[in-house]
Amino acid sequence: MDKGVGWLQKLLNLQNKYGFFSIVKGLFLILLSGYVIFFALNPKYLLERITKIQTEEHSDLVETRLKSDTEISNILSDLISTADADRAWLIEFHNGSKNLATGLPFLFGSMRMEEVRENIFHVDEEYADFSLSKYKLIVRTLQDGFFYGNMEDVRAVDERLYYKFKANNVNEIALLTLYDCETPVGVLGLSFCNDKLMHRQMVGKEIRRGGVQIATLLSLKDGKG
């Protein structure tokens, strides 16, 4: 008891002499110095902690991506039904290598996900890691935010993609740019194959609805949700 009273009396004397905040500051510096000395003497512990945190964050991102991909796949499947499309697909954008002169990155896209109606073949492997500047229609869609049209409309903008779509039996197409805030992150596409025509009012409504849902999931995949 006497020792406790003695320590209290010493603290009161220090407070009167140096002030309360000076004491707190001193204790904080002592504690900080202790941490610095501990990690300096135990660098392996610090590295293990950093590695563990990074691994946990990576695992969380992978889990979020897998969950989001499942939900996006379901949305694409629903669009085939609600928009009466033959293919519903998602192109995501990513950065490639940089231009040596300007330092600006080249922009690439990949058709990461695709759902098709029965008896319609998949084409996603034909659109893997392509330069966005390669296809004028993609650039046009990024500028306008959307594109609806038949193959002659496509040909007027992008003859290269016209022949590629024709080879995929596409008759009409609907494209919508997806955004994370103001940054374009991908394109949602609906293809109508063989002789099928799209009902533009219905397709416009459905692709916008699905686009909002998918764009939200893409932002979650980037850890921004």
CATH number of the domain bearing residue 182: 3.30.450.40
Q: Can you state the angle between helices 43-82 and 200-221, rounded to 10 degrees?
A: 170
Are the beta carbons of 73 and 116 closer than 8 angstroms? no
Cα distance from N-terminal residue to C-terminal residue, the chain: 55
Contacts of 131 (CB under 8 A, 6+ apart): 96, 106, 107, 108
Domain count of the fold of the chain: 2
Asked whether residue 60 is assigned to any structural domain, the reply reads: no
pLDDT of residue 23: 54
pLDDT of residue 175: 98
pLDDT of residue 73: 94
pLDDT of residue 159: 96
Residues 90 and 195 in one domain: yes
pLDDT of residue 100: 47
Residues 101 and 204 in one domain: yes
Query: Strand locations in 75-165, DSSP E?
Result: 87-98, 105-116, 130-131, 146-150
Residues 124 and 198 in one domain: yes
Asked whether residue 57 is assigned to any structural domain, the reply reads: no
**Ranges of residues in the chain whose predicted pLDDT is under 50:** 1-5, 8, 58, 99-100, 223, 225
Residue span of the structural domain in which 79 resides:
65-221
pLDDT of residue 3: 46
Residues 88 and 29 in one domain: no
